[in-house]
Structure 1
């Protein structure tokens, strides 16, 4: 079987969403290596702009990319670009670091997608912020219980079982509500067609 990976010499940019899907489908290490090469320097730079100093930025970057490897199956190209998804993971890891090191209640807000001096970010991060804003607008149209589940699953990166435990719901209920919410999100953002109903 021929490799679907694009050349890594810069002449043909890889399909980043496809690489994530290949990691999810088969644990494709070559696909992950390309993702790492593309995103790791950007993620580290992003974390440093958010005030994370070396070597913590290096460590946090490694954690972010490890999360990309482990959670690739959660990615859905119809809901977000690869950059949106990965920078969201990076922001969450940075907030976790603040809470762990400073004991503060760091909030999930848009300041985490801005540079400290207020200057514009690179085009990729700006695009990620815009896509995330559209996602949050779509989430706001969902019923409250679906919106809460989706925020916990997608933005806080918690597993189905962790959500079920946190919300005291049966695992099957969590899965069915998430399927319904994701279906609505895809339609609202312009993605898939099928609407699933909750049993």
Structure 2
């Protein structure tokens, strides 16, 4: 058992109860009450810092983020809604968002680039065998398209190559939408047979 030394200053000011935090937030939001904010800061800043350190932040970064969190609480106190969340939940959510933003900035600023293996990156372009396969397949598709009935090939080209929606194809060709769809189905079915897919 550990004995905590008596602190007369602590005894003089009763600690704010859990129910008191929404009232403190309201005082900050409505009156920019520095005393209420001081209570919030004194209670939550060390807890937020501890949470951030347990989440992997270094002590200095956790200290900065905890202060930034409470500054955000001061600025955005009017946005707090006690019907949606407890004060602690709202504050720790702000802290978590700031930590995620800081981690993103850290990555975007290039931190850690010295450890990154650029040689391990794969090339953006396909390999030579993949390129040859793609060329052969493109030739087979082109040949198969020439073997389709012209009305099927036409709707297929408009849909896949020109990326036209079926309704626009119907309007362009002056045929019903159902006819476009049935021609598409037939064309795809024929292509599968021609390509042995």
Q: TM-score range by the shorter chain?
A: 0.3 to 0.5
Please report the TM-score for the alignment, with normalisation by the length of structure 2: 0.47
Considering only CA atoms, is the larger Rg found in Structure 1 or Structure 2? 2
Higher helix share: 2
TM-score (norm. length: structure 1): 0.46
Structure of higher RCO (CA pairs closer than 8 Å, 6+ residues apart): 1
